[in-house]
């Protein structure tokens, strides 16, 4: 795997990220760059541990490079966001734009949360891809249902879509706001591709569909 280098990222951008909030932005910038190197090395070691064959190691190398590129992109955006932050300890309290800075700090916090969440997702995805290399294909259940079954109640089509493993509710037009709230509250998600509200095909999902449609039918009758 390609070893991460301090030169992969911009020390200037890392330093600017702390120019308005630290008395030692140079030192903080160097620390950020060192943290980047350590983080990528740690990620690579986790992938290498999961690569127990040559084929899986090849996939691990590809996944590691994809992660490194994505990490740099996210990290650079985070540093750029932080560079707009200021502290009265550095700039002084005179004419300090309090409200504007509150928004900037909030935006940075949100971006940081997104970055951390991305790191977790990326690791899980990379490990899954590595383990999938050389794994036997799942054996299809010869008794499993295919196609779909449907029924219409109160103008709403309830579909058990076995191919997609989804229960779907197909309305004639957009449901009213109360119905949409009930759908979302019961775990249903709108699928633009299928033009239907749907959930994973389970007994609970089928019961939920019948219950929601029964309420609509009671209102119509």
- pTM attached to this predicted model: 0.64
d(CA 67, CA 59): 12
* pLDDT beyond 60 at 175: yes
* pLDDT beyond 80 at 144: no
Looking at per-residue confidence, does 185 or 140 come out higher? 185
pLDDT of residue 221: 43
Give the pLDDT mean for 190-215: 94
**Angle, vertex CA 93, rays to CA 89 and CA 94, nearest 5:** 140
d(CA 103, CA 53): 49
Tokens 């190398």 found at: 61
DSSP letters for 101-170: HHHHHHHHHHHHHHHHHHHHHHHHHHHHHHHHTTPPPPPP-TT---SEEEEEETTEEEEEETTTTEEEEE
| Chain Cα centroid distance, residue 129 | 17
Distances in Å between the alpha carbon of 61 and those of 8, 48, 57?
A: 17, 8, 6
Q: Among residues 173, 168, 165, 148, which one has the least CA distance to residue 212?
A: 168
% the chain with pLDDT above 90: 87
pLDDT in tens, 58-105: 999 999 999 999 999 999 999 999 999 999 999 999 999 999 999 999
d(CA 119, CA 74): 10
pLDDT of residue 140: 67
pLDDT in tens, 15-63: 999 999 999 999 999 999 999 999 999 999 999 999 999 999 999 999 9
A 10 A CB-CB count for 53 gives 11
pLDDT in tens, 108-135: 999 999 999 999 999 999 999 999 999 8
pLDDT of residue 116: 96
pLDDT of residue 220: 56
* pLDDT beyond 80 at 142: no
């Amino acid at each position: 795997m390609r070893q991460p280098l301090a030169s992969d990222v911009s020390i200037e951008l890392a330093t600017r990220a702390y120019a308005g909030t630290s008395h030692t932005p140079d030192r903080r910038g160097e620390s950020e760059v060192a943290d980047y190197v350590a983080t990528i090395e740690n990620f690579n070691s986790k992938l290498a541990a999961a690569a127990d064959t040559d084929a899986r190691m090849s996939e691990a190398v590809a996944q590691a490079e994809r992660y490194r590129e994505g990490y740099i992109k996210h990290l650079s955006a985070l540093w750029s966001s932080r560079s707009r932050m200021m502290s009265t300890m550095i700039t002084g309290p005179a004419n300090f734009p309090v409200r504007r800075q509150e928004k900037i700090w909030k935006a940075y916090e949100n971006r940081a949360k997104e970055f951390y969440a991305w790191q977790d997702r990326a690791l899980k995805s990379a490990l899954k891809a590595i383990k999938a290399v050389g794994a036997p294909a799942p054996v299809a259940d010869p008794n499993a249902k295919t196609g779909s079954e449907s029924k219409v109640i109160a103008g709403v089509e309830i579909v058990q879509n076995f191919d997609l493993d989804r229960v779907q509710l197909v309305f004639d037009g957009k449901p009213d706001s109360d119905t949409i709230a009930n759908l979302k509250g019961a775990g249903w998600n709108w699928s633009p591709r299928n033009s239907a509200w749907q959930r994973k095909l389970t007994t609970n999902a089928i019961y939920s569909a019948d219950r929601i449609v029964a309420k609509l039918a009671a209102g119509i009758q």
